Amino acid sequence: MHFREEIHSFYTYLQSQQTAQKYLLQCYQQINEIEAERKSYENCNVFMYCLNHGMDYYHAGDKLDTVLKPVMLFYGMAHLLKACLLTKRPDYPESTSVLAHGVSTRKRKKKDYSFLDDEVKLQHKGLFPYFSEHLFEISKLPFEKVTMKSLLCLIPELTSFFKYEQKQSLVKIGNLYSQTLTIPKTICDDYHMTESALIKRLERYLPAILETENNSNSILLTLSKPIPNNSGPFQFNKCNDIYLPTNRDFFTPLSEVMVHYLLLYNLSMLSRYEAEWWGDLLALKPDADYPFIVRFLDITQEKIPITMGKYLFSRVED
């Protein structure tokens, strides 16, 4: 069975109290000092509803015009994130402070507002820092605020858009199921470091390096096993190709799920509260914001349910 079909099948499997409880029991048995059976019964309904509501939002977003998509996709994603959190945090939400979005935007938009140049500010409390820590083990982020363009640069399916503008946002270095990585030497220039320094920096995120080979344009690394999915500074496309960011500031552990959340949050705020700008963008298509936004919405609508489904599947895969 194709893996995407398997993920959709897994979502369907979890849509009953009995199967949801059985799944949560397996998850909770991996957590020390938890009454796994009691908590699995307590949480099975809310877990199931989070999944169902999340997928309902995505299905609704698929049928609606672009004007309403960001809100549907943002809340769909938030529900799937909460379902994933319940597999690791049986007492979620432990307090009301984790229920906020965990991110904020500028309240006033400038006259010549550009989405690509806009930025969001990360908060210390709320859903964003909470799921970053508990789902992806990222408790310290490299920035307090970040632009939309910087976030879009981290999405592999958008690399062609940046190439059209003679910019390279990510470079492909291998495939998730391969034990060989090919690192273009141009990355050394981008990061302002020597080849040996780059390899040393990569080592902390890789399985054991068995062999290193240099040629004129690239560095070939042979690994003891394939790298883990969603590991370190690497990004992955839908075909499981592995990419490195060309911006050294983003050579840091950062899940693409976090990237999509920040982008969708800002877009959902714009579509709700900046009706004139949002309406002009969709009707008149005045600048580069339009193609980037529309393409991103297509990508996130397909990619995030699969990515979150993989996460749920991985919790009991072993």
Same domain, 58 and 119: yes
Q: How confident is the model at residue 186 (pLDDT cuts 50, 70, 90)?
A: very high
pLDDT at 108: 65
Of 250, 274, 290, the one marking the end of a domain is: 250
Indicate whether 167 and 270 sit together in one domain.
no
- Do 140 and 191 lie in one domain? The reply is no
Contact assessment for residue 236 and residue 256, using Cβ atoms and an 8 Å cutoff: yes
Contacts of 220 (CB under 8 A, 6+ apart): 180, 181, 182, 183, 211, 212, 213, 214
Mark which of 250, 266, 301 sits at the end of a domain.
250
Do 96 and 110 sit in the same domain of this protein?
A: yes
What phi, psi does 83 have (nearest 5°)? -65, -45
Q: Are residues 189 and 280 in the same domain?
A: no
pTM (global) more than 0.75: yes
Residues 57, 141, single domain; the answer is yes
- 234 and 297 within one domain: no
Can you give the residue range of the structural domain that contains 230?
158-250
Are residues 168 and 282 both part of a single domain? no
Cα distance between residue 86 and residue 16, in whole Å: 16
Average pLDDT over residues 133-144: 88
pLDDT tens-digit series, residues 19-47: 999 999 999 999 988 899 999 999 999 99
Banded pLDDT at 1 (limits 50, 70, 90): very low
Closest Cα to residue 78, out of 316, 305, 311? 305
Residue 235 phi, psi (nearest 5): -120, 155
Q: What angle do CA 287, 288, 292 make, to 5 degrees?
A: 135
pLDDT band at 2 (very low <50, low <70, confident <90, very high): low
Cα(78)–Cα(177) distance, integer angstroms: 29
Q: Do 183 and 214 belong to one domain?
A: yes
Q: Is the dihedral of CA 242, 175, 302, 284 positive or negative?
A: positive
Total of domains in the chain: 2
Mean pLDDT, the chain, whole residue set: 92
Please state, for a pLDDT cut of 70, what percent of the chain lies above it: 98
Which residue, chain included where needed, has tokens 């397996």?
Answer: 26
Same domain, 72 and 218: no
135 and 272, same structural domain?
yes
Local confidence band at 318 (pLDDT 50, 70, 90 cut-offs): low
* Token pair for 207: 């399985």
Same structural domain for residues 235 and 299? no
Instruction: Determine the average pLDDT of the residues in 94-122.
Output: 88
Tell me the average pLDDT across 66-76: 96
- Say what percent of the chain tops pLDDT 90: 75
